[in-house]
Structure 1
Amino acid sequence: MRKAFVLLLLAFLPLRGQELLPFVENFTKAEYNGDNQVWNVAQGNDNAMYFANNHYLLRYNGVVWEKYSLPNKTIIRSIFVDGDRIYSGSYKEFGYWKRIGGRMRYFSISEGKRLFEGVSDNEEIWKVFKHEGEIYFQSFNELFILGRNGVRKMRLSSQISYCYVIEGRVYAASVTQGILVLQGNRFVPVPGTDVVKNNVIHHIEKAGDQLYALTKNNGIFVQDHRGLQPWRHPLNEVLKSQVIITGKFIGPAKMAVGTAVSGLYLIDLASGDWINLNRQNAIKNNAVLFIATDKENDLWLGLDNGICHVEVNSPVSILTDNSGMLGSVYALSPYQGGHLLATNHGIFNSQKGKLQVVPGSQGQVWDIFYANGGYVIGHNDGTFKYVSGNYAKASPVNGGWQFMKSSYDDVYFQANYSGIAVYPDVNDMSRYKTLSGITKPIRKISQEKPGELWAADNYRSLYRVRYDRDFNTTKIENVSQNSGIVNDYGVKIFGWRGKTRFLINNAWYHYDQQQEKLTVDARFNAVFSNVSEIVPVDEAHFIVVKSGILYLVNASRGSYIWQLVPEKYYQGKIIFDNIRAYVDGNNLLLNLDDGFLSFRRNKGKTFLPKVTIEAFRKDQLTDSDIKLKYNEPITIHAVPEYFGFSRPDLLYKLDGEARYTRLKSGSVTLNNLESGAQRIDFFYNDGSRLVKIGEYRFRVGFPWYFSIWMILLYVAVLALIWFMYYRWNSFRYRQKLALREEEMRHQQDMVEMENELRIQEYEKHILELEIQSKSTEVAGKSFSIAKQGEVMDSIRKILDNESDLNKIKTDIKRAIRTNTIEKHEWEAFETNMKQIHSEFVSRLLAKHPDLSSKDIRLSIYLRMNLSSKEIAPLMNISFRGVELHRYRLRRKLALPQETNLNKYMMDI
């Protein structure tokens, strides 16, 4: 809402300062890394620009900025170029700079000469100039003159601001005596200049036969037959309040005036027209301290804060709206000495530095078409006419992207949001017809023959629309889809010289009438591959957009001559899907997103540009054919001769590479290069081919691991490895012999071990025999014990059968003597039992650790496969006791009923 109100207000309040201006390149102190004020500017014989920037001398060669300071760190007020020397003046100091090894070195002239003593104690050198082979260093009160015999001083009779050399004579601007001229060793007043007495004069220069004097507060004075007279120009009254600081003539017919209040004024003395560059429209600071020209006759401004390069001699002019009210320009047309602009904010009328919105036109405007003395406006809200300052709606058709006059039918076609409209009479656009059957938003149209239109959808597909004499649609064909082109988004149409081509998916097509489909245009693709759009200008020219860069192409005699429109003029400002080109006399107009660009076409580059190649290694200038260390970077500058429009757009190619790379900043840093000889070539596109304009050769050393010492080391290492290998083989051979001997000894040991095993087996067999013997002995003992049981049974029988006590005693004693078992026999029996069954006892206890000694004895007997009856006497218990003990043992062992106890013991 607020924006709409502001636009409405603009309909009655024109914006000032919106006019075509020369291109201005601003440099801030952040870019050149210096101080604020720039007191003096000069171009050196090496084409570099030099600046007296307070405490620094700045050097700019179009690629890099360099900064230097005096040994005493004082402010540099003035500089002057003479050959390869850059003279400079400072506080109680003057001398010269010289470039040595790619760096500026200072040589003092005044040091040690005691020139600044007495009345000269507080002098600053504000101007340096050359006259009759001598260099003059000027302060406000003295001149220090460097001649063949050293330095001499000249005391001035009155305080002056600056001296000027005009036609071989030295003029001085005196504060109280007006303009003085040097005669011999003194300054005398110039006749007819009394009018500028007691004025601070900030510039004196002659243009043609007239002398101009620019005063600080009283404007400009011009010399005629009566002497100096106030300049008769309307601007002079304006300049009196702007505080003139400096001035400069650009040729005999154009003057630049720098002020402290309103920036720079450029005045055409022939026509009387003037423009003002200020902080609101171009330059970054309104206080212009110094003006200089370069080899292109363009201006360099030393500002109170910053530096400006103003391309007054360039064929490019730009209208830029810094207020944001204009918006993006989608179409434009010359109009009554100015321009009519179609923007997303409405229609604007730009004339004589004033920009005014056309009342009622607010909103998105797509197209302007001049027809029969009026302008057809394709607006978001309808189609309008603008005739003699009157803006009115002519048709309800909205969103008119393209208005086109048919070359075959006496009608006008309009591509719009809902299709294609046909207007039989441009003077009465209320009568119109819509081509039926096509209701899509159509952005581009073209015609090759009557009864047929090519139409590109705003989103995808290309259509061929046929109609009869009454403009009734007879056929609509989706040509891109029917031709098998799947990716047909964003189709571009290029209609030129009666032939239409189509850019679809980065390839150019034309329609083959015989095959009735689109076919690739091989010849056109060979020249215009990888372009994003082509915009027709006239029958001989068109604009090509390639990689975001604009080229003006001149088609002549079957060849195409390309002319670069330098990117700096429109960088980041192109509306890529809505590029328009308009002819205004000899100027070509291109719309931008904040204004438009005017390009004078007869300003062509017909010369081969000069470029100086400089290479820096660790910030030190190096000669050609140097040798770099491996992986050591090198920075190469392609230093141009010019800074403005004549500055060439360069490409480079490293030796061995197939592709060319654009050199954007004039500098390239190379690293990670292969060893050996290298060469980088620089090329310039002259419009038809790439022309080589410079080269730099150098060599890259081998990496440290390929140096001579490392190679010797590698040889030594290889020799050591071979020696170690030889020693190792000898060692292995000896080792094999030793192993073979060891193997023989081992085999012998094996034989001995086998013999020992045989002996051990024999001894084992003997032991087994002994064990069997002991087992037999145990069995015998067991039998003896059994016999004792029988003795006991005999005794019991005697006791049971005999009643005679004496006889009983006698029989018992006899039986005991006969069958008594000795105690030592029992002990021997138990010992033998343990030795025989020790392993069994260990395994049994491992499985059943809770068994008692009595259980173990029973288990041994069971393992011996003795019956309960045989066990009973051995354990000195009854038969029933043995059975009971067997039962309890089975329970401890948790054996099932079907498991045989004797077999279980023998299996352990």
Structure 2
Amino acid sequence: MRSILIKLLFFFFIASSLQAQELLPFVENYNKSDYQGDNQIWNVAQGKDNAMYFANNHYLLRYDGVIWEKYTLPNKTIIRSILIEGDRIYSGSYKEFGYWYRKDGKMKYVSITKKLRLFAEKDNEEIWKIFRYKNALYFQSFNDVFIYDGKHIQKIKFPFLISYCFVANDNVYVASVEKGVFKMDGSQIQNPKGWNVLKNTVVHAIEEYQNKTYIFTQKKGIFVDEKGILKPWNNALNEVLKASTINVAKFIKNNKLVVGTGNRGVFIYDLTKNTYENIDRNNVLMNNSILSIGFDKENDLWLGLDNGIAHVEVNSPITFFYDNSGLLGSVYSVATTSKGYLIASNHGLYEFESGNFKMIPNTQGQAWNITKINNKYIIGHNDGTFCYENGSLVKTNKISGGWNLSKSIINDAYFQSTYSGVLVYNDISKLTEHKTIQNLSKPIKYVAQNRKNEIWAADNYRGLYRVLYDDNYKTIKVENITQQSKIKNDFGVKIFEFRNEILFLINNSWYSYDALNNKLEGNKTFNDSFKNITDVVAIDEDHFIVLQNGVLYHIYAKGNKFIWNIIQEKYYKGKLINDNLRIFKTQNHYLLNLDDGFISLQLKYENKQNKGVKIEAFNEGGLVQNDSKIKFNTELKINVISGIYGASKPNLYYRLNDKSEYTPVLNGLVVLNNLNSGSHSILIYKNDGANFEKVSSFEFTVAQPWYFSFWVIVLYFLLIGAVLFFYYKWNKLRYVQKLKLQAEEQKHQREILEMELKAENELNVQEYEKHILELELQTKSSEVAGKSLSIAKQSEMIENIQSILDSEKDFNKLKSEIKKAIKINEVNKHEWETFETNLNQIHNEFIINLSKKYPHLTPKDIKLCIYLKMNLSSKEIAPIMNISFRGVELHRYRLRKKLNLSQEDNLSKFLLTL
């Protein structure tokens, strides 16, 4: 019991000098859904082609940063180990080892042991490790070691079960499961002096570091051999590792030790600082069981997990503070303290010390900003302003919403932007004493001053105001300067102070104030250097951050030159709090807030993006060489491979056929469809934010569509010839038919002409007959008129006779005169009948119409109407009708009554209208 207590006290004493860092390297996790393989990753290595290779049970996985590929052995057995030398990827599996090479965009396998009887039938042999020692390759199973010199294979069988073999101090060590560790000399083995403590211990790694040999055991921790003396590693971390089950360990650059465990993830120990980082499932790792460790040329870690793969950027200038618990919320501002961090979030104000969060009492709610001035931390909060000093918090005012606190360029005054205007602190050490800028009672987001009695205030929503005041801070004038400058879109104005100059970022354009014209003018330097900027945050006089097209850039202003350093989007994608980027500078680092934590980035970091970009193009599953041809209307997939997986990965764009626009290369893949036939080129550019630099290109040709191929064109000509031939025949046939039709048409036309002539003749005959009838009608009319005249003469004769009778007294002479008068004017009965018949024929239509309209008229009435229509007088009508003149007048009177005519109506004219 006493010994246990002493050990605990010793562990506590050492642990007090060991700092567990909260800032962790960036980790990219890949699960089975990404690589479509099995669970365990037994080995990791980077190839000469910069692709990462993984031994993944039944698969050899390959990842070039763009796509995952997986391959199986011909016998479908499990792949346990890999080793890469040159263009060959050696792999070990069940009773089999050989190598892979890449050809035409695919991995090909060559067996070394094929047709060789190296493995006994009863042995259940798997090659768990491959390593090079001197001029040979060693393939190690749990029972044997196979030494391959490129031509021959030597088999060494051990009398005990092997865990692993290791190369250290120019020696090969063989770790048994029960009998300890042996040093191998050719086919001979011997137990190193003083290493008996390792018996009955599983050794998972032996590494050499600074002339010391470190032995990593599964459950007994780490041992160190120094000058032939083996003893436990004197470090508090060793006690932690004993309970964590060491699976694999390696020393890496920058004096760091990486230990992968079975249940605690990975430990990264800094031997210089005596600090460590533990990355496990509690923070960012998918799985706590580390089976293998690999490195890339950036010296970043690749972890093979029991279920998945993790890329850990241990050499990145960027580290992260994660909060996977959700307790913290979205971080709006962060500052370092002597014990940890002070964090302002949407949940409140937090202290972070010794790995634990603690909300400071009475700070629940939205905390906006933390500004460190000397040893004080001034916090802008939804409920007012707080001051944090030496672990205690004091509320200094109740004015809501302290967004930002900025120092005047001309004196020691500070201006605080709030929900309701601007506060002024003449003495920042007296936070309870402040003044308010009058006539500016609105939400102000940013404030700056570079002239006495003048400040610039940006509205949280829209508008930029220039405020003039006297020495007592009494407002003299408030000008909406964006309106005066006729800037229509003045939403979300940002104020940026750069080297004692105040700049304004409005709708992606930069402005400065022209005092002579009292308006904003475009700033040429910044508009030329920083286009499409949506946000800007100052760090110090020479450093600031800009957000361009969703990508952050760290800008170093070196004299009049701006040096751009991209901060890869993968570090913060979907985690930036728009319009609320905050920077806290601490020594040679700065902190940038995120949704679930914050980023720490080296201030002098320069991202020298890699220019070596390789292009692999695939069409219909096959590799397409440069300047080759692809089929028409097929998809071309272009993998743009940089071979860089960490912070210096280039920001790539492409242009198709030298078009003007630059298109981002998303996830390293460019997919082209619906390309026109002919030559095409795709140009790849690296972008540092300010300039585009060409880094690679790919030329290809799209074939003519099948319907434009040679034989199809020949077929087209044959078809066109056949069509022309048949068209000629058809036209000829049509011509003959046309001639026949023309003949028939002419025949028909002649027939029609004859018929027309015949019809015309018949018409002429009809006209002639009509003319004859008209003549006859005229004759009849003449006859009627003659008869009328005859009648009139008879009347005259009668009158003459009457006169003779009255004047002549001699009877004989009287008789003779009367006979003579009668004979001259005699009218026979036949002529009267003829007269009436002709009269009726001439006026037949008139008689019919009159009878229809006035059916009650008598024949005598109708005769009178005819005579009246002929315009005969009553005197002329009387003898025709054989009545007296008075009788005609009486008859006319009665007729007017029957025709319903008034006295004013003319009877003869009325009858003419019928």
TM-score (norm 2): 0.80
Match of 2:695 in 1: 693
Q: How does 1:65-144 map to 2 (within 5 A)?
A: 65-117=68-120, 121-144=123-146
The alpha carbon displacement at 1:586 in A equals: 1.6
Q: Does structure 1 residue 49 correspond to structure 2 residue 52? A: yes
Residue of structure 2 aligned with 1:565, choices 553, 560, 567: 567
The alpha carbon displacement at 1:191 in A equals: 1.9
Matches of 1:149 and 1:75, distance apart in 2: 25
Distance 1:586 1:209, change over 3 A: same
The alpha carbon displacement at 1:505 in A equals: 2.6
Match of 1:196 in 2: 198
The alpha carbon displacement at 1:434 in A equals: 0.6
Aligned-residue sequence identity (percent) comes to: 47
Matches of 1:898 and 1:145, distance apart in 2: 148
Distance 1:758 1:515, change over 3 A: closer
Secondary structure of the residue aligned to 2:713 is helix
Residue of structure 2 aligned with 1:705, choices 704, 707, 712: 707
Match of 1:288 in 2: 290
**2:443 is aligned with what amino acid?**
P
Gaps of 5+ in 1: 1-15, 769-858, 868-896, 900-908
Q: How does 1:328-407 map to 2 (within 5 A)?
A: 328-336=330-338, 338-407=340-409
Q: Is the 8 A contact 1:315 1:601 kept in 2?
A: no
Match of 2:754 in 1: 752
Match of 2:548 in 1: 546
Q: How does 1:441-480 map to 2 (within 5 A)?
A: 441-480=443-482
Q: Is the 8 A contact 1:327 1:345 kept in 2?
A: yes
Matches of 1:253 and 1:558, distance apart in 2: 38
The alpha carbon displacement at 1:322 in A equals: 0.3
Residue of structure 2 aligned with 1:256, choices 258, 281, 284: 258
Distance 1:637 1:149, change over 3 A: closer
Q: How does 1:157-172 map to 2 (within 5 A)?
A: 157-172=159-174
Q: Is the 8 A contact 2:640 2:668 kept in 1?
A: yes
Moved more, 574-583 or 332-341: 332-341
Matches of 1:765 and 1:513, distance apart in 2: 108
Matches of 1:674 and 1:337, distance apart in 2: 64
Match of 2:28 in 1: 25
Residue of structure 1 aligned with 2:267, choices 242, 265, 268: 265
Q: Is the 8 A contact 1:418 1:441 kept in 2?
A: yes
The alpha carbon displacement at 1:658 in A equals: 0.6
Q: Is the 8 A contact 2:365 2:382 kept in 1?
A: yes
Q: How does 1:799-810 map to 2 (within 5 A)?
A: none
* RMSD, aligned CA: 3.0
Secondary structure of the residue aligned to 2:385 is strand
Q: Does structure 1 residue 525 correspond to structure 2 residue 499? A: no
Matches of 1:331 and 1:230, distance apart in 2: 44
Distance 1:247 1:18, change over 3 A: closer
**2:488 is aligned with what amino acid?**
V
The alpha carbon displacement at 1:737 in A equals: 4.4
The alpha carbon displacement at 1:726 in A equals: 4.8
Distance 1:365 1:708, change over 3 A: same
The alpha carbon displacement at 1:573 in A equals: 0.5
Q: Is the 8 A contact 1:290 1:301 kept in 2?
A: yes
Q: Is the 8 A contact 1:17 1:354 kept in 2?
A: no
Q: Is the 8 A contact 2:409 2:500 kept in 1?
A: no
Q: Does structure 1 residue 186 correspond to structure 2 residue 201? A: no
Q: Is the 8 A contact 1:447 1:495 kept in 2?
A: no
Matches of 1:603 and 1:187, distance apart in 2: 50
Secondary structure of the residue aligned to 2:533 is coil
Q: Does structure 1 residue 245 correspond to structure 2 residue 247? A: yes
The alpha carbon displacement at 1:759 in A equals: 8.2
Matches of 1:649 and 1:309, distance apart in 2: 19
Q: Is the 8 A contact 1:220 1:236 kept in 2?
A: yes
Deviations, residues 377-436 of structure 1 (Å, cap 9, x unaligned): 111111111010011112222211111222223322111111111112222222111111
Distance 1:866 1:87, change over 3 A: farther
The alpha carbon displacement at 1:133 in A equals: 2.3
The alpha carbon displacement at 1:252 in A equals: 6.4
Residue of structure 1 aligned with 2:431, choices 429, 432, 435: 429
The alpha carbon displacement at 1:19 in A equals: 1.6
Secondary structure of the residue aligned to 2:647 is coil
Deviations, residues 805-834 of structure 1 (Å, cap 9, x unaligned): xxxxxxxxxxxxxxxxxxxxxxxxxxxxxx
Matches of 1:548 and 1:251, distance apart in 2: 33
Q: Is the 8 A contact 2:41 2:292 kept in 1?
A: yes
Distance 1:473 1:72, change over 3 A: same
Distance 1:317 1:762, change over 3 A: closer
The alpha carbon displacement at 1:584 in A equals: 1.6
Matches of 2:176 and 2:608, distance apart in 1: 46
Matches of 1:440 and 1:705, distance apart in 2: 70
Q: How does 1:549-628 map to 2 (within 5 A)?
A: 549-606=551-608, 608-628=610-630
The alpha carbon displacement at 1:64 in A equals: 0.6
**2:110 is aligned with what amino acid?**
F
Matches of 2:769 and 2:480, distance apart in 1: 112
Q: Is the 8 A contact 2:332 2:368 kept in 1?
A: yes
**1:78 is aligned with what amino acid?**
S
The alpha carbon displacement at 1:711 in A equals: 2.9
Q: Is the 8 A contact 1:534 1:543 kept in 2?
A: yes
**1:469 is aligned with what amino acid?**
D
Matches of 1:607 and 1:395, distance apart in 2: 48
Deviations, residues 449-487 of structure 1 (Å, cap 9, x unaligned): 111110011111110011112222111111112222232
Deviations, residues 346-402 of structure 1 (Å, cap 9, x unaligned): 222234433332233222111111123211111111111101001111222221111
Match of 1:323 in 2: 325
Q: Is the 8 A contact 2:496 2:503 kept in 1?
A: yes
TM-score (norm 1): 0.80
The alpha carbon displacement at 1:654 in A equals: 1.1
Q: Does structure 1 residue 36 correspond to structure 2 residue 45? A: no
Q: Is the 8 A contact 2:300 2:315 kept in 1?
A: yes
Secondary structure of the residue aligned to 2:479 is strand
Matches of 2:59 and 2:625, distance apart in 1: 28
Distance 1:726 1:266, change over 3 A: same
Matches of 1:716 and 1:76, distance apart in 2: 60
Deviations, residues 787-819 of structure 1 (Å, cap 9, x unaligned): xxxxxxxxxxxxxxxxxxxxxxxxxxxxxxxxx
The alpha carbon displacement at 1:631 in A equals: 1.5
**2:424 is aligned with what amino acid?**
V
Q: Is the 8 A contact 2:583 2:590 kept in 1?
A: yes
The alpha carbon displacement at 1:898 in A equals: 9.9
**1:370 is aligned with what amino acid?**
K
Q: How does 1:728-877 map to 2 (within 5 A)?
A: 730=732, 734=736, 737-754=739-756, 757=759
**2:596 is aligned with what amino acid?**
D
Q: Is the 8 A contact 1:208 1:252 kept in 2?
A: no
Matches of 1:709 and 1:898, distance apart in 2: 101
Moved more, 110-119 or 177-186: 110-119
Moved more, 17-26 or 650-659: 17-26
**1:285 is aligned with what amino acid?**
N
The alpha carbon displacement at 1:732 in A equals: 5.7
The alpha carbon displacement at 1:111 in A equals: 2.8
Matches of 2:78 and 2:177, distance apart in 1: 24
Deviations, residues 770-799 of structure 1 (Å, cap 9, x unaligned): xxxxxxxxxxxxxxxxxxxxxxxxxxxxxx
Q: Is the 8 A contact 1:367 1:378 kept in 2?
A: yes
Distance 1:761 1:452, change over 3 A: closer
Matches of 1:456 and 1:416, distance apart in 2: 11
Deviations, residues 205-232 of structure 1 (Å, cap 9, x unaligned): 1112111111111111111135211000
Match of 1:656 in 2: 658
Moved more, 297-306 or 495-504: 495-504
